[in-house]
Amino acid sequence: MSSYVIRRLLQGAGLLLLVSMIGFAILHLAPGGPLSQFAAGGDMTQEDLDRVAAQLGLDRPLPIQYLDWLWRMLQGDWGLSYRDQQPVLSVIGSHLGATLELMLTSTLLAMMIGAWVGILGAIRRYSLFDGFATIGAMIALSIPTFWFGLVVIYVFSVGLGWLPSGNRYTIGDESLANRVHHLIGPCMVLALVSTAVWSRYMRSSMLDVIHQDYIRTARSKGIPERRILIHHAVRNALLPMITITGLHLPTLLSGALVTETVFTWPGMGRLFLDSINYRDYPVVMGILMFTAVLVLLGSLLADLLYNVADPRLGANAT
């Protein structure tokens, strides 16, 4: 068990190193590299550019620059935003809460509906319900998130007038009720894809479990079907979903960016898009690296949790 944890952590660290190299490569991919912001202004001569490059250490060999950049990243120095000269990490931090709020609530919603649909689909396999759930999930995975957002705004905000069409709360009214009211729309939109993913994996996980010997044993012992399903089947079928939730994180983050844009939700995704519009590369790079690290940690955590939660995967199994 502990050797597994150590090995997994080492793998994670190695992956982090590769992720940082890719991030650094993208940063230097820009025409003119990190200097492009100065060059774009047009009022600097080549001499000036060379001087700035020397000041920023951009005239050194790339591996040295990379190590220097990595060392500063590890110390929490992610550079300053071009827009307001704030440290990148604190800019990200101030937008993280809104994104997490949206991601957590929509994940909870998706888990509840998706698990229910998946379990029911597995129990009544090939029923009408199962058929509709399968097609529904497939369509849900194919709908562009931003378009579903537009449809939700059109129906619930423009048409029915039930929901606000954007923002996190009405200015001057930060009560819980007002926040929840603003959260419903984006939460629903972001949950669509996750619900489809959850229902599919839950269904197949449940199908795996209900054909196991211990379920047959439980049946032969005369335990009521309902109790078998809840106590024996569902609990075991939920275990692999820990991994799925970890694997789904990149998709969820991408969805959050789009949802935040449509609903003018002041989160990290919207900040990312705004920063791209302003050519604020330190923030763009910061968020890109931040999300990659988040995904990495998410999958690491999911793996470790799964290992702890499922005693069958003890020291011997790994």
Interacting residues with other proteins (CB under 8 A):
14-15, 18-19, 21-22, 26, 29-31, 125-126, 135, 138-139, 141-147, 150-151, 153-154, 158, 204, 207, 249-251, 253-254, 257-258, 261-262, 272-273, 276, 279, 284-285, 287-288, 291-293, 295-296
Q: Output the smallest distance, CB 268 to other proteins, in A.
A: 10
Both structure tokens of 303: 């793996």
Closer by beta carbon to other proteins, 63 or else 222: 63
Closer by beta carbon to other proteins, 65 or else 99: 99
Closer by beta carbon to other proteins, 111 or else 262: 262
Closer by beta carbon to other proteins, 228 or else 271: 271
Q: Output the smallest distance, CB 216 to other proteins, in A.
A: 19
Reference 112, options 104, 100, 101; nearest CA is 104
Reference 200, options 247, 264, 253; nearest CA is 247
Q: Output the smallest distance, CB 282 to other proteins, in A.
A: 12
Contact 78, 88 (CB under 8 A): yes
Reference 290, options 265, 243, 257, 266; nearest CA is 257
CA distance 63 to 70: 10
Q: Output the smallest distance, CB 293 to other proteins, in A.
A: 8
Closer by beta carbon to other proteins, 125 or else 179: 125
Q: Output the smallest distance, CB 47 to other proteins, in A.
A: 25
Closer by beta carbon to other proteins, 223 or else 301: 301
Q: Output the smallest distance, CB 208 to other proteins, in A.
A: 9
CA distance 32 to 121: 55
Closer by beta carbon to other proteins, 69 or else 272: 272
Q: Output the smallest distance, CB 192 to other proteins, in A.
A: 12
